[in-house]
Structure 1
Amino acid sequence: MNGESKVLALPLAYSTGQNPIIRTLPMLARLLRTIYLFQLLAGGLLGLYAADRLGLSGAAAVAVVLLCSVLLPLLLQLSVISVSAVQSRPSLAGRHWWRAFGGEFLAALRIFWFQLPWANPKNEVWCPDVPQPMQAWRVPVLLVHGYICNERVWDKMARALHEAGHPVLAITLEPLFGSIDDYAPQIQQAVQQLQQASGAARVALVGHSMGGLAIRAWMRSHGSADVAKVITLGTPHQGTQMASWSPTTNAAQMVWRSPWLQALQANETAATRQLMHIALTRHDNIVFPQREQVLPDAYVTEFEGMGHLELCLDARVIGYVLQKLQ
C-alpha cells in the first residue's frame, strides 16, 4: 500500500483477560514461514536423496534439489485443494467445476505463499490520496478476514476500494484459534480507528468466511448504530461440514448448524439482517452446503465458477462489493 495515503497508523491490541497485548509479527505469518521453511528443507533432502540414487553431481544434482524443494510444497498445496474440492461438491462437474478448482489452486498459491506470510504487524488506515475534504470520501470500509488468514488476504480488494475513493482498514484477528466472540473488541477498536481517520460516523464492514461471523458477533455486542452496511463473502452463516475436522474453538463454532450459530441468529433482529448483503459461490470448497448459507431478511447474491479463497480476488466479486458500497 502507498505509504503517502495512510493517514493514521495505530497498533491494534487483542485482549487476554484484562491485559491488552500489542502484536508483533502476526501469528499466522510466523507459522507459515516456519512451515514453508520446513517444506523447502524436506524437499531439498528428498532432492539430495534422488540425486544420489540417480548418480547425479554438479549442476544436475543442484537442479534436482531445487526442483524437489519447490515441487514438494506445490504438491502439498494441490492435495489440500483436491481433497476440499472433491469433499464439498462430488456431484458437480463440467466447466464451472474445473474453473473453480484451477482458480482456487492458483488463489491458494498467491494468498498462502506471497501474501499471508508477509503480513504487517500494524493495522493502518489507507485513505484516498486525492486532494479533497473528508466529506467527499466514500464510505469507509473495514475488511475482516476469515479462518487461518490475516489482513493480507485483502490486498487486491483493498487496492480496488482505495482507488474507488474509500478509506480502508484491513485488520488481523488474533489469537488465531480463539473464540469468534473474542474478536469483537478488536473489531470495535478498528471501527473507532476508521471513524477517527475518516471523520465518518458510520462504516461498512466486509467479511470473508469466518470474518462475516466475527462482524455479526461484534454487532451482537456493540449494536449496529455505527454500521452503514455489512457484506459477507463465503461466510458459513449456517455452518460448514468442513469444520468438523478441526479441534479449534472457532472451528467448532462454525460446524454445520452449531449451537453457537443458532444462538447468534436468535439474537439478531430483522433490521440488523437488512443491513447485510451475502455473497456465496455454489462451488465453495470450504463452506458447504453452499446454497444454505443465507439468513432471513438479508440480501443474497450467488456466484459460480470460483472457490472459497477466490472470493477475495475475483474481479466479479470486487465489482459486486464496489457496487454495493455505492
Structure 2
Amino acid sequence: MALNNLLRRLDLTTLQLFLSIHEEGTLTRAAVREAIAVSAASKRLAELEQAIGVTLFVRTARGMDLTPAGETLLTHARRMLLSVEKIGQELAEHAQGVRGYVRMVANLSAIVEFLPEDLRAFIQLHEQVKLDLEERPSGSVVKGVEDSWADIGICSGDVDTRDLHTALYRRDQLVLVMRDDHPLAHRSRVEFAETLDSDHVGLHADSSINARTHLASHAAGKSLKMRIHVPGFDAVCRMAQVGMGLGVIPYDVYLAIGRPLGLVSVALDDDWAQRELKIVVRDVKGLSPVTQALFDHLRSAETRAAQPGN
C-alpha cells in the first residue's frame, strides 16, 4: 500500500468515525454521533478499507464487529487520537501562560525520598512550567525514556540504562525497619544474612529493592522468608508495625513514614545497601530548554544537599 495514499485516508476525522462505529456498533448510530450523513460515513469507511487493503468490520445480525485487522487499527487509532488530545491540552496550557511541559517518570524511592523538595524548588524558580510525574519500577523508567513517552527519568543506579545518557541524582542508604520488640531492634547495624531467619515484608516483584534482597539471600545460601509483598513503602511500614516481618526501605523513607509509626531502624552493613539514583535522558543535546533546566537542577541536587545548612 502506498504511504501517501494511507496518510491521506488516515485523517483524524476518519479515525474518529472508525472508533465511533466500533463503540456504537452500527454505522447509523456512529454517523449520528459524528453528525454526518450515513452515506458520507459509509463512503469514508469504504475509502479507508480500500486504502489499507483490508476489511475492518464484519456485518452481523448484532451490528458491526471488528475483524482482526480492525482490532489492530483500533489500538493505533486510540493511541493517535489520545496523542492529539494531549497536544490540544498542552497547546491550550501554553496559551494560558504555561511556558514549558516536562513528562517525568521515576521509581518509588526517588518520589518518596527526594523529588517533593527538589521539584518544589524547581517550580519556585520556574513558576510557569508544568510537570507530569509518573511512578514506575526502575526498568520501566528506562523503557519510558527510551520509548520517548517520558522526557526525563530517575531510576536505581544498578539498572541497565542501555544507551541512555545518565547522571547522578542522589545517594541513599537502605535500612531495616521493625517493631521495637523484634530481637534485632537493639542492634545499631546488622548484616542482611543475619535477618534470614526472620519473616520479611517485601515490595512488589519489579522493585530494585526486592531484587537486591533476593540476590543477597541467594548469596548467603538461604531462602528469603517473604511473608507478603506490598505495593509501597507506606504498606511495608504498616505491615512491619503489626508484626508481619522486617522491611527494607531507604532511611529517608523511614524518617518520613516509619518513625512516626513507632518503628525502629537498623542500618544494613552490606555494600548493596548503599545506593545511587540516576537521572536518565535520551540525548542531552536534544533536550528542550525547560527539560534541560530540570535536568541541570536535578543533577546538582546531591551537591546542594551536602552544603552546610541543608
TM-score interval w.r.t. the shorter chain?
under 0.3
Structure 1 length normalisation: TM-score? 0.26
Q: TM-score, normalised by structure 2?
A: 0.27
